[in-house]
Amino acid sequence: MTMNGLNRLAGVVLTAVAASISEAQDGAIVYRLGKDTVAIERFTRSATRMTGEMVTRSGAAVLRTSYDMTIAGGRVTAATVKRMNADGAPLPNTPLEYRFAFAADSATRTLVFADSQPSRKFAAPNAFPSLPVFIYAPLELLRSARRDSAPAVGVAGNNIGLIALDKAGGDTLRLRAPGNYAMDLTFDASGRLQRVDGSYTTNKSVGTRVNTNVDIAAIAKTMKPTGVLSPRQTAYAAFAQGPITINYGSPAVRDRTVWGGTLVPFDTVWRTGANEAAHFATSKNIQFGDLTVPAGLYTIWIQHTRTGTSLIINKQVGQWGTGYNPANDLGRVPLTLAATPSHVEDFTITIRPLPQGRGAIDFAWGDKVATAQFALRP
């Protein structure tokens, strides 16, 4: 199915007539990245059991994850998780399923292979399963139990994590969990998850709930992988045999708002692209206004405010794009913001040589371009 076809399918799901939820609490959440559907989660919840399945096409393959949780006294006491390909076959070289038992003083995880079932016990009292991104409906169970946090045990790794639901205003809670971004979760008066908002995270996806059933297996057959959503790009320019480069992730607008909107919100420090931090390498000493940048390797960040936009040059390198530490700032450079001649769908950085040993760096996205000029120094 084409991208437009998949989005039409998601539109059908989103506009379906809501089923009665007074008895069977069935639901689905459709996750979109701008206009593009990247995952769909469906689930059924009762007083003693919650089951669900999620399919995502974000990345190199279409993947499915199913879960079956046993509930007693409002707490999850057991769970089974399966990771699958689009056709339902187990992922190669991985367990057929993951089994969890959650007790008052510990948690046990069993990896089920065709010929063995190794187990590991964790000192995690009343723990909760840590599930992949795009599976958020089970967090209804934590909220219903009035638990604002729980130890977390996932399908991989030997560490105990923490799932926490922090107050973010009204009926919205902010998720902190291993492997997940700090998504905002909005619940209705009955404690049912209605919206999963990653607009102010690096995830950027937004999930909307409908109370109707969807066939995950059928949808998975029509999905095509998105591939790399924000491919790495390199901006390059040479100045008197001295190269300057910037390596960055290049996300697409996808019908979202950019400067002061969803993608580059006011007053937040933006990673200047996507995924890994943007790395800036100069073989020359250069001068941005009052800031001298010695030859070397740096990361660069952008802060956009209602009173101005700044380029931040940071001495820490090698980190993910959420790893900004202001203690390592070399300094800040004012950026000039101007309209682009036409819409720029993919975030693009350009390094331009200018006369008399000068240069400029352009950060173009959407309808605007931010520019910093510099001069070469001995």
Residue-level pLDDT at 1: 46
Distance CA 370, CA 87 (A): 45
Residue among 154, 139, 166 nearest 76 (CA): 139
Q: What's the burial of 127, exposed, middle or buried (CB within 10 Å: 0-12/13-18/19+)?
A: buried
Mean pLDDT per block of 10 residues along the chain (378 residues) reads 52 40 70 91 95 92 97 95 95 95 97 96 96 94 92 93 90 80 88 89 85 88 89 94 94 92 91 94 95 97 97 96 93 97 97 94 98 94
Domain ranges of the chain: 3-222, 232-377
The answer to whether 151 and 125 have CB atoms below 8 angstroms apart is: yes
Q: What is the pTM of this model?
A: 0.78
**DSSP code string of 305-340:** ETTEEEEEEES--S-BTT---GGGEEEEEEEEEEEE
Spatial separation of the C-alpha atoms in residues 14 and 212, rounded to whole Å: 9
Q: How many CA atoms lie within 13 A of 337 on its CB side?
A: 18
Q: H-helix or E-strand containing 42?
A: strand 36-45
Q: How far apart are CA 319 and CA 205, in angstroms?
A: 22
Number of H helices, E strands in the chain: 3, 25
The residue whose two tokens read 């559907």 is 37
- Residue 311 near residue 269 (C-beta atoms within 8 A): no
Distance CA 189, CA 170 (A): 11
Determine the Cα–Cα distance for residues 62 and 55; give it in Å rounded to an integer.
7
Bridge partners (DSSP) listed for residue 296: 282
| Cα Dmax for the chain | 75
Measured between alpha carbons, how far is 146 from 85 in angstroms, rounded to an integer? 35
Q: What's the Cα-to-Cα distance from 227 to each of 6, 28, 76, 138, 357, rounded to whole Å? A: 15, 24, 35, 28, 40
Name the phi and psi angles at 141, rounded to 5: -65, -40
Supply the pLDDT for residue 119. Answer: 97
- Residues with Cβ within 8 Å of 104's Cβ and at least 6 positions away in sequence, in order, are 125, 126
| 138, 266, 314, 340 from 306: Cα distances, Å | 38, 7, 23, 19
Give the C-alpha separation, 350 to 86, whole Å: 39
CB neighbourhood size of 318 (10 A): 10
**Strand partners of residue 293:** 286
Predicted pLDDT at 5? 55
